[in-house]
Amino acid sequence: MQSDGSREAGGRVAISAGITLVVGLGVSGRAICRHLARQGVPFMVADTRSAPPGLDDFHAAHPEVAVHLGPLTELDLAEVAEVVLSPGVDPATPGLEGLAEARNPATGEPRLVGEIALFRRACTASVAAITGANAKSTVTTLLGEMAREAGVRVAVGGNLGTPALDLLAETPDAELFVLELSSFQLETTPWLAAETAAFLNLSEDHLDRHGDMAGYRAAKLAIFRGARHGVVNAEDPLTWPAAPLPALDRFTTAAPGPGEWGIARRDGRDWLMHGETPLLAAGTMRLAGRHNQANALAALAMGTRLGLPLAAMRTVLERFPGLPHRGETVAVRDGVRWINDSKGTNVGATLAAIAGLGPTLEGRLVLLAGGVGKGADFTPLAEPLARYGREAILFGADAPRLAAALEGRVAVTRVADLGAAMGRARTVARPGDCVLLSPACASLDQFPNYQARGDAFRRWLEQHLGEAADGKERRA
């Protein structure tokens, strides 16, 4: 254990009065330390691990800062000014008991906060914040691109990419911060006061941290504290704020009601709509699928609140291909769309991709799936593939288990590897079809990670479709 050499009190390491304690030396924890150093705030660091990664680099950057390694119960926090948690540290960690409810008697501020609380104190620009169990990275990126297209000086990060506190230092002239925020970040954010805040969806996740769905939802709902405008999912009441907001917009994949954002049929085509006003033909989006149309509607609702011109937002939706390996349109050739959803490493993610894409296709779905299934039940894939699938092309260690779950509901072909699967897909796909790599499995039998698997998908298209592997329609 390292310590700051401060006095011992009752066998525990006492922290001097007025010191801020940073708990956790991960990416966000180091960003917190850099911020406090810039602000001239005296602090020390604690990490429950005996040798956290990057410790030597931290000592080099902050040689004067004391570090405690080991259980937090070894610290006496009676005099500490504030405890700032990294998102990866559970507020219920032994040694932090009672701090979540405690307040600093001098300032009235909570004694336990997270990085976003520090960000909000220091930030004077507008904030747009996005959370949800899924799709928050896509909406965050879309909104950031829309702001850039409109000429706004924007910084994008948070749980996605650059930590929020580093954004403050790197882009001091930003007019707008667009932040993806996780439940871990939000549960230690007493007041966010976003100009616009979106809660996209809620599904079971992180229950080991939050206890149950009610706890998970409560953490997410912190995004609306002080918000001037909210965006919620009309089809998911769990995303709705517990208390009224000054303004609230709802999005849906159905025809919208008055003032809602939704999808309606006009002249034989699906349109993104605001009430009765058509905004963009859904088929002109590079992002494919109903789920991504919902993401676009959420971004449009937020962008409209921020005053972004519709023309700029349309331009982004017409060119944005998706985030790498997350439903990314890599190529369109001879009427066939090729989508890289390599991050679909479990059955739930692949189900979401199929359900989002299937209803929007003129043709059918050719699914590329397989790898290490980790004992998952693949049978839920059978029904949607019976409805939307042309063929399931299976590879990797658990191809036999996948085949057993799908045979009789959709045509099944087993091949040796991803390259063979793509060759088969090129043979069977017809105009209007979509070839979807969404494996429902981990990649570790044939690839080091899902990114490498997605990169192999792209390389095959570059080699076999040449310049068409850029997501734009071309014909041979």
Summarize pLDDT for 269-280 with one digit per residue, the tens: 999 999 999 999
The reported pLDDT for the residue numbered 140 is: 98
- Give residue 219's region: left, alpha or beta (phi > 0; psi -120 to 50): alpha
Q: Name the class of domain 8-113.
A: alpha beta
Edge-to-edge strands, sheet with 43-47: 67-69, 43-47, 20-23, 82-85, 112-114
Q: Give yes or no for a contact between 144 and 94, defined as CB atoms under 8 angstroms apart.
A: no
pLDDT confidence of residue 10: 53
Residues in CB range of 393: below 8 A, 6 or more apart: 366, 367, 368, 369, 412, 413, 414, 415, 421, 424, 425
What Cα–Cα distance (Å) separates residue 339 from each residue in 43, 321, 354, 468, 470? 47, 10, 11, 13, 11
pLDDT at 3 over 60: no
Q: Is residue 1 predicted with pLDDT exceeding 60?
A: no
Active site residues per annotation: 136, 159, 206
Cα separation values, 417 from 244, 396, 398, 423, 470, Å: 53, 6, 12, 10, 23
- Over residues 169-220, the pLDDT tens digits come to 999 999 999 999 999 999 999 999 999 999 999 876 667 778 888 999 999 9
CATH fold of the domain at 328-474:
Protein-Tyrosine Phosphatase; Chain A (3.90.190)
Give domain limits for the chain.
8-113, 123-319, 328-474
**For 101-115, what is the mean pLDDT?**
84
Would you state the pLDDT for residue 204?
63
Q: 123-319: which CATH architecture? A: 3-Layer(aba) Sandwich (3.40)
Instruction: Report how far residue 402's alpha carbon sits from residue 441's, in angstroms, rounded to the nearest whole number.
Output: 10
CA–CA gap between residue 122 and residue 321 (Å, rounded):
34
* CA–CA distances in Å: residue 166 to residues 119, 156, 250, 326, 343: 9, 11, 32, 25, 27
List phi, psi (to 5°) of 187.
Answer: -70, -15
Cα 218 to its chain centre, rounded Å, is: 18
**Hey, do 123-319 and 328-474 end up sharing a CATH topology, with the first three levels equal?**
no
Provide the whole-model pTM. 0.86
- Could you report the per-residue pLDDT of 409-442, keeping only the tens digit for each? 999 999 999 999 999 999 999 999 999 999 999 9
